[in-house]
Amino acid sequence: MQKKNEEKQDSLNKVVFYFSATLILLFSIITILFNEQANQVIINILNWVSRTFSWYYLLAATLYLVFIVFIACSRYGEIKLGPKHSKPEFSLLSWSAMLFSAGIGIDLMFFSVAEPLSHYMNPPVGEGETFEAARQSMVWTLFHYGLTGWSMYALIGVALGYFSYRYNLPLTIRSALYPIFGKKINGPIGHTVDTAAVLGTIFGIATTCGIGVVQLNYGLHVLFDLPENIWIQTALITVAVIITIISVTAGVNKGIRILSEINIYVSIGLLLFILFVGNTEFLLAALIQNFGDYISQFPKLSLSSFPFEQPKEWMNSWTLFFWAWWIAWSPFVGLFLARISRGRTIREFVTGTLVIPLLFTLTWLSIFGNSALYSVIFDGNTQLATTVLENPAHGFYDLLAQYPGFTFTAGVATITGLLFYVTSADSGALVLGNFTTKFTNIEHDSPRWLSVFWAVAIGLLTLAMLMANGVTALQNTTIIMGLPFSFVIFFVMAGLYKSLRLEDFRQASTSLNAAPVVGNVDILNWKKRLSRVMLHPSLSQTRTMLDNVCKPAIEAVATELIDKGIQVNIQEKPLEEEPELYHLDLTIQLDEEENFVYEIWPVRYDTPNFSSRGKRTKRYYYRLESYLFEGSQGNDLVGYSKEQVINDILDKYERHMMYLHINRISPGKRPLFPDREI
C-alpha cells in the first residue's frame, strides 16, 4: 500500500517555450532588419498556400461547424464540461455577458466599414457599385464574422473544457489528443501541437493588434493632427506593451476587466448613436434583410471557391484571411470560453457561443456597414468608398465624421480602441504563458515574468509585420500561420469524438446490478434506516465516521487487493476549508487500462430548518459522498457500516470492470485516460 503526499510545482515547458520563442524572435528581428525581402518571402509563401490550400480552408471551416453542431445536437450534448456533480460558476446572465464581450474587438470597428464598402466597389464576381453589389457586400461581411468562425471557438472551447475539467488534464491543446496518442502527447507530438497553437495564437493576436494600431494612428491624426507613420505606430505599440506589462505584473486584471465592461457599454452607445442619428428606418430594414440573406445564402457561401472566376486576390484578402484568423484565435478565445463555462453542458456551451456573440456581432456590422453604404449610394459620398479602398483604416472615422459631435465620438472610438488593444494583448500574454507552462493545477496561471515576455513578443511581432507591409503583411502571414493549426483541429475533433464515445460505455456499465450480498448485510432494519435518513451529522460525527468506518473499509479492500498482487494507492488529505476533516482516495492501478478511482469526500451543506440540529442553530451538516473518476455519484455513506462501505466500493469497482470490458470489445481502438496526476 502506497501513500502519495508529495507536492509538485509548476514548471516551464522548456521545449515549447524555447522553440516557439526562438522562432518568433528570429522572425521578428529578421523582418525588422530586412523588411522588403521578408515581405517578398511572405508573398511567395502566400501564393503557394493560396494556390494549394484555398479549397482546403473552405472545406475545413465548414467541417468544423458541422462537427460541433452535430455534437451539440446529439446525446453527447447533455455531457457536462466537468464532473457530473459540477454546477455553473456564473449565472446565465453573467455568463451571457461574458460571451457577449468575447464578440467585441477593435477589428469589428475596422472591418465594419472597410469590408462592406470594399465588396461594394470590388465584389468577387459581378459588377460593382450596384444595388445587388451593396446587398451582397453585407452578406459576405456577415458570413466572414458569422457561424463558421464562432464554431471554431466553440470546438476548441468544448475540447479544452471537456478534457481539463472532466479528466483533469492540462489546459493545453495536446490534452485533446490523448485519446489518439496516449502518453505520447508528453513527447514530441504534444510539443509540436502546443507549438503550433502558440505560433498560430501569437500571429492572430499580432494581426488584431496591428490592425488596431493602424486605426488608432489615424484616430490620433484626426484628433491631434499627428502624422500617420511607423514611428507613431511604434510609440503606440510601446505604450500598449507598457500598460500590458503593468497589468500582468501589478495584478490589475480586475481593473482592465472593469474597463472592458465599460467598453461594452461604450460600444453599444456608439451603435445606438449611429442607429438613431442616421436613417433609422433604412438601417432597421437593412438589418432584417441582412439576417435573412445571410441565413438563406449560408450553405452556398460556405463552399464557394470560385473555380471558374478565380478572384484569387479577393479570396486571399477576405475569406482565406478570415478563416485563418479565426483558426489562429481559436486556442485563445476557446480557452477563455472554457474557463467561464465549467459545469455547463456541451449543448448549453455551443448554443451560447454560436448565438449570443453572433447576434451582437452581426447587428454591429449591419448597422455600421449599411450606414456607410447609405452614405455612398444615397448621399453621394463616393469619397468615403474611395478612401476605404486606398486606406481601410480611415473608414470608421470617416463614417463618424458624417454625423454631429465628431470630435467627441472620434475620441471615444480612439480610447475604446486603445483599451481593446491592451485587453487583447493582456489576455493573449496570459494565455501564451499558460500554453508554455506545465501546471500541477489547472486553476493556476503562468508566472508573471512569462506573461511579460509574451507581451513584449506580441508588440515586437506586431511592429515587424507593420514594417514589412502594414496590414497586408499581417493578413498574409495569418493565412500562412493558420495552416498548421488547422490540421491540429482535425486531430482535436477525432480525440473529442473518441472520448465522448466512452461516455456511452460508462452509461452502459452503470446498468449492471451489483452481485447479491449473502446475509443481506446491505439492508438495515427499519429503525436504523429511519435514523440514518433523519441524521444530519456534525463535524465531529463526520470525523468519527471517517476514522471508524470509511478508512478501515478502504484499508481492508486495499489489503485484500495487495494480497492478490494488485498495486493500490491510498491518499488521505485534509480539506482546505475544514482541516479537521479529510478525504480518502483509493486508486487501483490497472496497468495500461484506466485506473479505478474511488474517493470519499465530506461535503458541507446548510442544515435544513426541519432538522433537530437546525432547531439548535447548528448551521452545517455533512454528507460523505463517493466520487469516481467522472465525478460525484450522489450517494451518502453516512450511517453505513464498514461492510456496507466495502460493498459500495466493490459495486463501483465491478461496474468499472464492466466499462473496461465494453471498451475492449468495441470495434476499433478506444481511448483510455490516465489517472488524474498524469
DSSP string, 269-329: HHHHHHHHHS-HHHHHHHHHHHHHHHHHHHHHHHT---TTT--HHHHHHTHHHHHHHHHHH
Task: Label residue 251 left, alpha or beta by phi (over 0 means left) and psi (-120 to 50 means alpha).
Answer: left
Rounded average pLDDT over 447-457 = 91
Output the 3-class SS for 403-421: CCCHHHHHHHHHHHHHHHH
* pLDDT at residue 348 tops 50: yes
Q: How far apart are CA 622 and CA 428, in angstroms?
A: 42
Rg (Cα) of the chain, in Å, rounded? Answer: 29
Quickly state the pLDDT bin for 515 (edges 50, 70, 90).
very low
Helix or strand holding residue 11 (H, E): strand 11-12
Burial of 353: CB neighbours in 10 Å, binned 0-12, 13-18, 19+: buried
One-letter amino acid of 515: A
Q: Please say whether the beta carbons of 565 and 661 come within 8 A.
A: no
Predicted local distance difference test score (pLDDT) of residue 618: 67
**Does position 544 have pLDDT exceeding 70, yes or no?**
yes
The DSSP element (H or E) to which 67 belongs, if any, is: helix 35-73
Q: Where are the domains of the chain?
A: 15-306+328-503, 522-663
What was the pLDDT predicted at 535?
79
User: Rounded mean pLDDT of the chain?
Assistant: 86
- Tell me: pLDDT of 150 over 70: yes
Residue 519, pLDDT score: 43
**Res. 663: pLDDT tops 90:** no
In this structure, the strands spanning 568-574 and 620-628 are unpaired
- Residue-wise pLDDT tens digits, 244-273: 888 777 654 555 556 667 778 888 899 999
How would residue 236 be classed by pLDDT, with cut points 50, 70 and 90?
A: very high
**Which region among 16-25, 615-624, 642-651 has the lowest average model confidence (pLDDT)?**
615-624
CA dihedral 416, 422, 428, 430 (to 10 degrees): -130
Kindly indicate the confidence band of residue 640, based on its pLDDT and cuts at 50, 70 and 90. confident
Above 80 in pLDDT, residue 311? yes
Tell whether the model's pLDDT for residue 476 goes beyond 50.
yes
Of 62-71, 130-139, 154-163, 657-666, the one with minimum mean pLDDT is 657-666
* Mean pLDDT on 166-190: 86
Element (H, E) at 360: helix 346-377
Cα–Cα distances (Å) from 177 to 400, 494, 625, in that order, read: 48, 8, 32
pLDDT value for 550 = 93
Residue 152: which of 325, 320, 294 has the closest Cα? 325
Query: Which tens digit of pLDDT belongs to each residue from 641-660?
Result: 888 899 889 988 988 888 88
* Alpha helix ranges (H) inside 535-641: 539-545, 551-563, 612-615
Tell me: the pLDDT tens digits for 550-600? 999 999 999 999 998 899 999 999 988 888 899 999 999 887 788 899 999
Residue partners of 453: CB distance under 8 A and separation at least 6: 21, 433
Among 194, 172, 672, CA closest to 439: 172
What is the end-to-end Cα distance of the chain in Å, rounded? 20
Cell 429511519 belongs to 530
pTM for this structure? Answer: 0.83
**Looking at residue 287, what is its pLDDT?**
96
In percent, the amount of the chain with pLDDT more than 90 equals 50
pLDDT at position 244, please?
Answer: 81
- Across the range 210-222, mean pLDDT stands at 92
Q: Which three cell numbers stand for residue 297?
A: 445564402
- Residue pointed to by grid coordinates 481539463: 164
Find the range with the poorest average confidence among 23-32, 288-297, 430-439.
430-439
**CA 613 to CA 207: how far, in whole Å?**
62
What is residue 617's predicted lDDT score, i.e. its pLDDT?
53
pLDDT band at 167 (very low <50, low <70, confident <90, very high): confident
Q: What are the CA-CA distances from residue 331 to residues 159, 205, 238, 382, 436 (Å)?
A: 10, 11, 25, 40, 13
What is the structure's pLDDT at 105? 76
Alpha-carbon distances, residue 233 vs 20, 71, 205, 216, 463 (angstroms): 25, 44, 16, 8, 8
**In this predicted structure, what is the pLDDT of residue 501?**
84
- Which residue blocks in 628-667 are alpha helix, DSSP H? 642-665
Total length of the chain: 678
Residue 509 predicted with pLDDT over 90: no
Q: Show the cell assigned to 20.
A: 516557439
pLDDT in tens, 389-429: 999 989 999 999 999 999 999 999 888 888 777 777 877 88
Long-range contacts of 408-416 (CB under 8 A, 24+ apart): 409/270, 409/273, 410/219, 410/222, 410/223, 411/223, 412/266, 412/269, 412/270, 413/109, 413/219, 413/270, 414/216, 414/219, 414/220, 414/223, 416/106, 416/109, 416/263, 416/266, 416/267, 416/270
- Is the domain spanning 15-306+328-503 CATH 1.20.1740? The answer is yes
Lowest-pLDDT range, 102-106, 306-310, 669-673? 669-673
**What is the C-alpha to C-alpha distance for residues 69 and 337, in angstroms, rounded to an integer?**
17
Helix axes 319-339, 147-161, angle to 10 degrees: 40
Percent of the chain with pLDDT over 70: 90
Q: Kindly list the distances between the CA atom of residue 468 and the CA atoms of 39, 187, 235, in Å, as whole numbers in the listed order.
A: 5, 36, 17
